[in-house]
Amino acid sequence: MRIQFIGETASAIDKKTDKTLFVNYPQIPWKQIYSMRNFISHQYADIDPEMILVTLRKHIPLLESTVKQIIEDLQQN
């Protein structure tokens, strides 16, 4: 459910911003994040547990560190 929430939030940011966030932080695969949300939400019977585990171990830490950097950058502006 938290992966879905992250994807939903990324989608909302994409719709409400001028896309500079995505351009300024290209190390994050923004579109893949909300594509994964859609997959989990609509094709939950086909979810590969290994894919979820890789996401949690490999991709979430990068996302977390980038979000912290985004917050720092926004506070400086």
Question: Domain of 69?
Answer: 2-76
CB within 8 Å of 73: residues ≥ 6 apart: 24
Instruction: Give the count of domains, the chain.
Output: 1
Residue 20: closest CA among 77, 62, 64: 77
7: pLDDT strictly greater than 80? yes
Query: Residue 42: its pLDDT value, please?
Result: 92
Query: Residue 18: its pLDDT value, please?
Result: 67
Query: Residue 69: its pLDDT value, please?
Result: 93
| Predicted confidence (pLDDT) per residue in 32-77, tens digit | 998 999 999 999 889 999 999 999 999 999 999 999 999 999 899 7
